[in-house]
Structure 1
């Protein structure tokens, strides 16, 4: 939960780097929240909650994806590759799973060593 909250606190921070753990913990909690909301909505017979939640986490999701790409020394613009059906999603998963640069890169210091 701590990783999820930290991403939300950095709501629109597109600079710096994000560890794999930060990215994947946010993705995991986001998936659990979406599933829970879907079940709750099914019981209520509405779709408004999922829409509100999706809009609320859209910017933080993009921001953490950009920071994750920065950790692998890629430009944040690579996040647009996810717009390509199937292949783009697979590419983003691979980029997010790669080990970040061990040393400082042009996007900042190694977040593992920073804290």
Structure 2
């Protein structure tokens, strides 16, 4: 699965916690989040630098507007991120509740990185068909005249 396909897939399944997600979909989504974070951080830095008043040691209103918009963007990305994390766990035939391991400081993060990096189960599992297997297109039968 390519980078654009992965991002489209996650957005098209915005709040879908059922089904399975391939490793490529999961990791390309995280690459997308890193890119968005870099762009957003750069914009915030530029706005902060241009709106800083050294005499009063305060920032202008522009920084607060941009910071509010950034907060809305990250808020909008939380749900699809959680959904793709759960679907990635489903690909390994694990419950989405394994996600709560990530709340354990340091150790939980390491465990989750390992779990997300492991391959999924081959073939269908209790969460759905294998996402690596290409779905055969529905056959169309023409009725002879």
TM-score category of the 2 structures, normalised to the smaller one: over 0.9
CA distance in 1: counterparts of 2:70 and 2:34, whole angstroms: 11
The TM-score, its normalising length taken from structure 1, stands at 0.94
Task: Report deviation, 1:48.
Answer: 2.6
Indicate the RMSD between aligned Cα atoms, in angstroms.
Answer: 1.1
CA distance in 2: counterparts of 1:2 and 1:76, whole angstroms: 23
CA deviations over 1:22-77 (Å, ceiling 9, x no partner): 00000001111111101111111233333122101000000000000000111001
Mapping for residues 46-85 of structure 1, pairs under 5 Å: 46=63, 47-85=67-105
**Secondary structure of 1:11 counterpart:** coil
Aligned length: 115
Task: Report deviation, 1:80.
Answer: 1.1
Q: Which residue of 1 aligns with 2:45?
A: 42
Query: Is the aligned partner of 1:29 residue 2:32?
Result: yes
Runs of 4+ in 1 over 4 A off after TM superposition: none
Mapping for residues 7-26 of structure 1, pairs under 5 Å: 7-26=10-29
The TM-score, its normalising length taken from structure 2, stands at 0.75
Query: Is the aligned partner of 1:93 residue 2:132?
Result: no
CA distance in 1: counterparts of 2:134 and 2:101, whole angstroms: 29
Whether contact under 8 Å (1:20, 1:68) holds in the other structure is yes
Segments of 5+ residues of structure 1 without an aligned counterpart are none
Bigger drift between 43-52 and 88-97 goes to: 43-52
Segments of 5+ residues of structure 2 without an aligned counterpart are 49-62, 136-145
CA distance in 2: counterparts of 1:112 and 1:96, whole angstroms: 16
**Structure of larger gyration radius:** 2
Determine which structure has greater relative contact order: mean sequence separation of CA pairs < 8 Å that are 6+ residues apart, divided by chain length. 1
CA distance in 2: counterparts of 1:58 and 1:37, whole angstroms: 16
CA distance in 1: counterparts of 2:69 and 2:45, whole angstroms: 11
